[in-house]
Amino acid sequence: MKILVINAGSSSLKYQLMDSVSHDVLAKGLCERIGIDGRLTHKVPAKDAKYEFNIAMPTHSEAIQSVLDALVSPEHGVIADVKEIDAVGHRVVHGGEAFAQSVLITDDVMKAIEDCIPLAPLHNPANITGIRACQKVMGNVPMVAVFDTAFHQTMPEKAYLYALPYEYYENDKVRRYGFHGTSHRYVSARAAAMLGRDAKELKIITCHLGNGSSVSAVDCGKSVDTSMGFTPLAGLPMGTRSGDLDAGILEYLMTKYDMDIKEMLNILNKKSGVLGISGVSSDFRDLEDAAKEGNHRAELALESFQYNVKKLIGAYAAAMGGVDAIVFTAGVGENDMGTRMAVASGLEFMGVKMDAQANSTRGKEAVISASDSKVKVLLIPTDEELMIATDTAEIVGSL
């Protein structure tokens, strides 16, 4: 099947046209500046070609239309007719407690996704806009929603409940949801495949380390804990996000600097994390360059990040009563051998032994632990689009 994968943001929209059987990416690209002016970057991997166009995109509908035009264009297209697209898979950030897996989009499903808007006020409205635009432009093509939160719905109550008055969970749905679920699901399944084992007999810790970062405990193929929480602000310090902190700090700083909660959250989301500690950058490459030149705060930011990932690995090994494999993925996890080594070294006591040579690789699947390491350490590039395409093909194929 040919599946169009859509990831709609408020002013941008990423797409990939994939063959769900061969897993070939036929075309992919990005619409930017939707609602401002409009820019399309379209790539055709088979030709190693990249095209850029300025196209008016007052709304997401024009953006989707420009994607379809690019896909069928005689010069840079990859299909003869839009009818060749069998289905569309949409990334949706928040499915709340309503969705534990991907689903065919119906009116009821749209209503349930809308009901989750208060839980993800920045993301779900953009995802909904993307779905509606596709429905408008593509008519009755079947569409599937794939949720970032769904994989984590298997967490037990003790892992997802905050120690707040229980009615905030009952009435207001305040609980840990977790994000990056599609990525944790993909890499944990790939890890089992790489090890030639059934996921049902493995305890895996998946470290999705990118601009946003989260770690998950995956026991018997199911997420049993994860570091992001009610929002993607929780857990690890990230590029610009603080991760977990003492809630008392908010009151202290807001009072001292006369800030309202919006200003405070802006600092926690945009000015904290490794950027906040270092004062240099949110990008790990810049931090490594600065650290090499002797910048103490850049070094500290890296160390703090690595230390927190290591602590979570220890916590999740304890939570699962052991660990068979640790996986590194996403921008930092796939590319930054220094961070992988710093996180995994010092864990020899629990059976982790790295292979420096094997670890000096980037961006491709590899076992990076020593051959006699009890716990296997794996580098696995994530592929959320493939997961979305696979789910979509499976659901639509069974209609």
Sites of contact with ligand ADP (CB under 6 A) = 210-212, 239, 283-285, 330-332, 335-336
Which position's Cβ is nearest ligand ADP? 331
Whichever of 324 and 336 has its CB closer to ligand ADP, that residue is: 336
Whichever of 285 and 311 has its CB closer to ligand ADP, that residue is: 285
Say which residue the tokens 């006699």 belong to: 372
Whichever of 71 and 326 has its CB closer to ligand ADP, that residue is: 326
Report the distance separating Cα 31 and Cα 333, nearest Å. Answer: 27
Neighbour count for residue 371 (Cβ, 10 Å):
9
Say if residue 167 is exposed, middle or buried (CB neighbours under 10 Å; 0-12, 13-18, 19+). Answer: exposed
Neighbour count for residue 85 (Cβ, 10 Å):
18
**Least CB distance to ligand ADP at residue 43 (A):** 16
What stretches of the chain adopt beta strand conformation (E)?
A: 2-8, 13-19, 25-32, 39-44, 49-54, 87-92, 103-104, 143-147, 203-209, 213-219, 222-226, 325-329, 366-367, 376-379
Whichever of 96 and 239 has its CB closer to ligand ADP, that residue is: 239
**Least CB distance to ligand ADP at residue 150 (A):** 18
Please report, for residues 102, 130, 182, 214, 322, the alpha-carbon distance to residue 90 in angstroms, rounded to integers and kept in the order given: 10, 8, 12, 22, 35
Active-site annotation holds for 148 = yes
Whichever of 350 and 358 has its CB closer to ligand ADP, that residue is: 358
Whichever of 66 and 231 has its CB closer to ligand ADP, that residue is: 231
Contact 262, 230 (CB under 8 A): no
Tell me which amino acid residue 4 is: L
Partnered with residue 281 across adjacent β-strands are none
**Least CB distance to ligand ADP at residue 92 (A):** 16
Determine which one of 37, 115, 148, 324 is catalytic: 148
Report the distance separating Cα 234 and Cα 213, nearest Å. Answer: 9
**Least CB distance to ligand ADP at residue 95 (A):** 19
Contact 282, 273 (CB under 8 A): yes
Positions marked catalytic: 148
